[in-house]
Structure 1
Amino acid sequence: MASKKIPILVPDHVYVPKHEIMTKKEAEEVLQKFNCQPTELPLIFVNDPAIMGLGVKPGDMIKITRKSSTAGDSLYYRYVVEV
């Protein structure tokens, strides 16, 4: 008898850090803090498996929170673009 495979959604996987859509206000604050334009941030494609199900659209900014045993929480920012 074949075993039934349960699909694992990438965003729910233990090794995928927390991804969340930033509000316009949060995004503006980050851009001002780093004195940059959204397109100068690292890019993430709208169809990236890590952001599936978030309802992202091109032009959104994503905040990624990575946990580290030595550094605590580290924040990373990505600008959502089309493929």
Structure 2
Amino acid sequence: MILYSEVFMMVTKKHLSLAPDHIYVPKHEVMTKNEAEEVLEKYHCKATELPLIFGNDPAIVGLGIKPGDMIKITRKSATAGESFYYRYVVEV
């Protein structure tokens, strides 16, 4: 007999593994230390002042990230073309 909770977990894991490949999920990439420093200098802020993203976020799970890394998110826009967003990775 399969319990509802077991089925829910199987479905949830399946969706989590597919999320980064979905058409509406923007491109996420780990920034190098040099890239991160340039962005922080450009915007005159510290990494901890950036918006946060959890390390277990489905969009970045497969990137090999660790808390303290910075993520660059590239979003496509009909009006702006491409726009970039930066997130600081934290533990859950």
- 1:1-83 superposed matches below 5 A: 7=14, 9-83=18-92
User: What value does the CA root-mean-square deviation take over the aligned residues?
Assistant: 1.3
Identity %: 77
Larger radius of gyration: 2
- Name the structure where helix makes up a greater proportion of residues: 2
Q: TM-score if structure 2 supplies the norm length?
A: 0.81
Runs of 4+ in 1 over 2 A off after TM superposition: none
Structure 1 residue ranges without an equivalent (≥5): none
CA distance in 1 between partners of 2:61 and 2:38 (Å): 25
Matched length: 78
Q: Which amino acid aligns with 2:54?
A: F
Give, in angstroms, the shift of residue 52 of structure 1: 1.4
Runs of 5+ unmatched residues, structure 2: 1-10
The one-letter code matched in structure 2 to 1:42 is P
